[in-house]
Structure 1
Amino acid sequence: MGHARRLYGQYCGLASALDVIGERWTLLIIRELLLGPKRYGEFLAELPGIGTNLLAERLKTLTELGVIAKPESRDQGYELTELGRELREPVLRLARWGMAFLGSPEENLEVRPHWGFLAVQAMMDPAFASDIDEAYEFHVDDIVFHIDVVGRRPIAMEGPYPGVAAVVARTDAQTFVEIGAKRLTPFEALASGRLSLTGDTDAVIRSSVLLGLMPAPASVR
């Protein structure tokens, strides 16, 4: 039996948004869908602790509100509607903001490789893409994604880069998130063997600046 949604009862856009996405787990469901369609069982695997009844309730509510669409067959997953996809930028900004509060990665904290893909999208600063015409590929545990700068706009995509990437980075999910949270510099990760980079030094610097991992050289500020 579901619980009645708790509403703020305020005639305000922010309160109204929180009425939709402010409940516990809801934004993490959105996070998973920003990375692609998900079936019910995949949600349970990627959101340990949510519980089947609560997941069903959240998915039902988000579907009724038009934020996500139900799968049409067993082979398909839930996916974001056009309205739901509008949450991409605010969620990425929240993820970037939240990195400042990440403590040390304790053993009881879950980490997933595909969250690294989201972290990359949150970390990118398009202002530093204007002079870049190259791509960067990331291997995080068992997933691969890349950033391609197209028309001075950096776009993060799943899968390997179809051409020759200027930089190829290999690491694990925990190290990747620690680097994104600035708890670990790329150079410390390299020195400890937790990160490997293939590519020329200038391209490594350009990719690090684009991801906010190091300050831009004076010449491009």
Structure 2
Amino acid sequence: MAAMDLFGRRWALRILWELRERPLGARALLARCEGLSSSVLYQRLRELASSGIIANSADGYELTRLGAALGDALRPLDDWATVWAQAQAQARDGQDSLEA
């Protein structure tokens, strides 16, 4: 399976993002990902595990060394997303003050 195909699947990147700091069980992942169904969660976990990106341990699902390296690659995207969200908020604030 090509990486972009895997990462483009619904919820895959979000699951990886939630595992970036520590292992989590399936219930914790479901609680952190509002709107994610358990069937989709387990499907993504199987796909990510079979790709060698996560592993199931006694502590829950966790990133493998390869998965942690992906986190390093995604960090600049998170930095960009933070700047983008701030710009969106500023644009909304500017529109709100014009409408008042």
Compare relative contact order (CA 8 Å, sep 6+) and give the higher one, 1 or 2.
2
In structure 2, the residue corresponding to 1:66 is in which secondary structure? coil
Partner of 2:94: none
- Give the Cα separation in 1 of the matches to 2:71 and 2:39: 26
Between Structure 1 and Structure 2, which shows a larger proportion of helix residues? 2
Alignment match, 2:40: 54
Rg larger in structure: 1
1:150-197 per-residue CA deviation (whole Å, 9 max, x = no partner) reads: xxxxxxxxxxxxxxxxxxxxxxxxxxxxxxxxx5xxxxxxxxxxxxxx
Separation in 2 of the partners of 1:70 and 1:89?
21
Q: Which runs of 5+ in 2 are unaligned?
A: 91-100
SS at match of 1:85: helix
Distance 2:10 2:81 in 1: 16
TM-score with structure 1 setting the length: 0.37
Give the corresponding residue for 1:99: 82
Q: Secondary structure at the match of 1:24?
A: coil
Query: Of Structure 1 and Structure 2, which has the larger fraction of its residues in strand?
Result: 1
Aligned ranges 1:32-181 → 2 under 5 Å? 32-71=18-57, 73=58, 76-102=59-85, 103-104=88-89
Query: Which stretches in structure 1 are left out of the alignment for 5+ residues?
Result: 1-6, 8-15, 105-182, 184-221
2:97 aligned partner: none
Letter in structure 2 aligned against 1:93: P
**Deviation at residue 89 of structure 1 after TM alignment:** 1.8
Identity of aligned residues (%): 34
Letter of the 2:81 counterpart: G
Matched with 1:24 is 10
Q: CA separation in 2, counterparts of 1:100 and 1:23?
A: 25
TM-score (norm 2): 0.78
SS in 2 for 1:78: strand
State how far apart, in whole Å, the 1-side matches of 2:12 and 2:71 are: 14
Residue type at the aligned position of 2:78: A
Aligned-partner residue type, residue 76 of structure 2 = R
